[in-house]
């Protein structure tokens, strides 16, 4: 017998591997089905979760979209309405200006304004100050409005050359709409308005002739102190020593009031200096009509005999030397004339035509009397200007 068949029937040796392979396939199939079932469960749960989240989130997103303005909605369409005053501080950036305007209801948002600000090449020229603007303006229109000087709500006060302090107070009261008594009270406080010690507590002559721009909220002290500071600046620019400031202003105020034409300022200043030094013909007396008129409370004209006889410290016909204070606000040209008076021996001058301002100067009383006669003849022909 052949030993090939000893251990079993033919083919029995290969049946066992086939069964194992079948078992492995069945096991793999089971595992695949289990994985598919798990994946289906996870997918189902994921879909459910997403659906739940979507149902919850939709109202939230909808509310955000409807309540939060879009980029286009952050700007008003304009042109705006109503009126509001806004104050742009000095050195404010576009962002800071936008914040001010948004707070006052002028623009819809800071972002809209800063965008418009960046698009306007002139925007950096916006000046500080108070502006009158519309509310709910388009941001670009707001930028343009701030660049228009017509929208600046400023108080402009002009102090003409020669104005007396009381005239300045009255102008401040009228233009700035501040009670006159408040203006006068501020003027009486030297420290409050920055009046230098050499002024002796009297602002006369220290309220510089100039045109000023103030904010509507500025009070009397702010306005007066600005005018005093302007005078101090002018004197400092010209290197006037502190102990000579009052004298220079007093002389310049007389120059300002004595003649109308700047071409004569220097000669009048020289006459003042010559008279103060003279010990022969006038003995130190200025004999200026402007000081006499100031002393009796007048602001112009020709002194009457009663005015000339009135004994007060400003009557320079009766009293030698300079009056105790200036008699008005001198301009820069008058101050310069005092500081750079031309050489000359004049002791007298007379304006012989009050319409044209023609003025003649003389070194002797005889020459002066001839000029005065010419003035009197003119006055006789023009009586409406007398006194």
| For residue 25, pLDDT beyond 70 | no
For residues 336 and 12, the model is more confident at 336
pLDDT per residue over 38-88, tens digit each? Answer: 555 445 555 444 454 555 554 554 444 444 444 444 899 888 888 899 999
d(CA 356, CA 347): 22
**Which has the closest alpha carbon to 102: 123, 117, 120?**
117
Handedness of CA 98, 103, 104, 110 (dihedral sign): positive
Q: Residue 67's pLDDT is what?
A: 44
The radius of gyration computed from the CA coordinates of the chain, to the nearest angstrom, equals: 46
- C-alpha dihedral (248, 249, 255, 256), degrees to nearest 10: 150
d(CA 350, CA 359): 6
Q: Residue 28's pLDDT is what?
A: 58
For residues 53 and 211, the model is more confident at 211
| For residue 126, pLDDT beyond 90 | yes
Q: Residue 73's pLDDT is what?
A: 43
Q: Residue 48's pLDDT is what?
A: 45
| For residue 331, pLDDT beyond 50 | yes
The answer as to CATH 3.30.1490.480 being correct for domain 74-151 is yes
Bridge partners (DSSP) listed for residue 360: 350
> In the predicted model, what is the mean pLDDT of residues 274-288?
93
For residues 385 and 292, the model is more confident at 292
β-strand pairing of 155-159 with 358-362: unpaired
Phi-psi region of 179 (alpha: psi -120 to 50; beta: other; left: phi over 0): beta
| For residue 12, pLDDT beyond 50 | no
Domain-wise residue ranges, the chain: 74-151, 155-237, 242-385
Q: Residue 4's pLDDT is what?
A: 38
What is each CA distance from 153 to 85, 180, 338, in whole angstroms?
8, 22, 38
| For residue 243, pLDDT beyond 50 | yes
Q: Residue 1's pLDDT is what?
A: 42
């Amino acid at each position: 017998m052949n030993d090939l068949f000893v251990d079993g029937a033919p083919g029995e040796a290969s049946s066992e591997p086939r069964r194992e392979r079948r078992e492995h396939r069945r096991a793999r199939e089971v595992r695949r089905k289990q994985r598919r079932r798990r994946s289906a469960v996870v997918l189902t749960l994921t879909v459910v979760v997403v659906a739940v989240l979507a149902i919850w989130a939709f109202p939230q997103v909808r509310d955000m979209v409807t309540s939060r303005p879009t980029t286009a909605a952050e700007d008003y369409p304009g042109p705006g309405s109503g009126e509001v005053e806004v104050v742009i501080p000095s050195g404010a950036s576009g962002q800071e200006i936008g914040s001010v305007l948004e707070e006052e209801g002028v623009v819809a948002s800071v972002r809209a304004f800063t965008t418009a600000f960046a698009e306007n090449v002139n925007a950096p020229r916006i000046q500080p100050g108070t502006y009158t603007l519309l509310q709910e303006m388009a941001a670009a229109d707001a930028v343009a409005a701030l660049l228009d000087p017509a929208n600046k709500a400023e108080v402009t006060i002009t102090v003409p050359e020669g104005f007396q302090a009381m005239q300045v107070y009255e102008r401040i009261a009228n233009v700035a709409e501040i009670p006159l008594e408040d203006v006068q009270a501020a003027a009486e406080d030297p420290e409050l308005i920055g009046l230098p010690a050499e002024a002796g507590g009297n602002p006369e002559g220290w309220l510089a002739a100039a045109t000023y721009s103030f904010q509507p909220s500025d009070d009397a002290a702010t306005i007066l102190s600005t005018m005093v500071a302007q005078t101090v600046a002018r004197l400092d620019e010209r290197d006037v020593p502190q102990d000579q400031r009052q004298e220079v202003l007093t002389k310049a105020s007389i120059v300002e009031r004595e003649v109308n034409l700047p071409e004569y300022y220097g000669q009048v200043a020289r006459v003042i200096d010559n008279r103060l030094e003279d010990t022969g013909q006038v003995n130190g007396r200025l004999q200026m009509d402007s000081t006499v008129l100031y002393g009796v409370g007048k602001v112009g004209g020709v002194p009457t005999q009663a005015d000339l006889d009135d004994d007060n410290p400003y009557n320079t016909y009766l009293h030698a030397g300079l009056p105790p204070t200036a008699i008005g606000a001198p301009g820069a040209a008058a101050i310069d004339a005092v500081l750079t008076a031309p050489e000359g021996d004049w002791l007298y001058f007379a304006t012989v035509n009050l319409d044209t301002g023609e003025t003649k100067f003389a070194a002797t009383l005889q020459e002066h009397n001839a000029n005065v006669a010419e003035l009197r003849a003119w006055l006789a022909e023009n009586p409406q200007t007398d006194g």
